[in-house]
Amino acid sequence: MVEDEGILLWDVEQSLVEAGFEVASAFNAATAIETFDLDPERISAVLTDIRLGEGATGWDIARHARVARPTLPIVYMSGHGADDWPSEGVPNSIMISKPFVMAQVITALATLLNSASSLGIS
């Protein structure tokens, strides 16, 4: 999970853990990409904000991850960027606009993970 707003990062991370997910979190794209590159097979999905301050964006993180794992589930969450999703987002991803409720995030992740699982993709 990548989010540059500390309170939101903590809140979403805690909700995901309560829902049964193991979460690796980052405040920026550089840290997220570094974490991903350490063990791409360990990552089951990417949940990222679009605007992350200085440096790369959530769009960049998703494209980077998809090079290593072409079918990796990607969920974008952003207060800005939904209009750019069709052109900037990776295929077979989900965009959730802020503000959101956690059920939207959990449903999006579950949908993409179950879809990948039913296709025999991990």
pLDDT digits (tens, 9 = 90+) for 20-76: 999 999 999 999 999 999 999 999 999 999 999 889 999 999 999 999 999 999 999
Number of Cβ within a 10 Å radius of residue 111: 13
Q: CA-CA distance, 83 to 52, in Å (whole number)?
A: 17
Beta strands across the sheet bearing 46-48: 46-48, 74-78, 93-97
Q: Is the pTM of this model over 0.85?
A: yes
Distances in Å between the alpha carbon of 53 and those of 3, 30, 45, 59, 61? 10, 11, 22, 13, 13
pLDDT tens digits for range 60-107: 999 999 999 999 999 999 988 778 899 999 999 999 998 999 999 999
Measured distance CA(33)–CA(113) in Å, rounded: 20
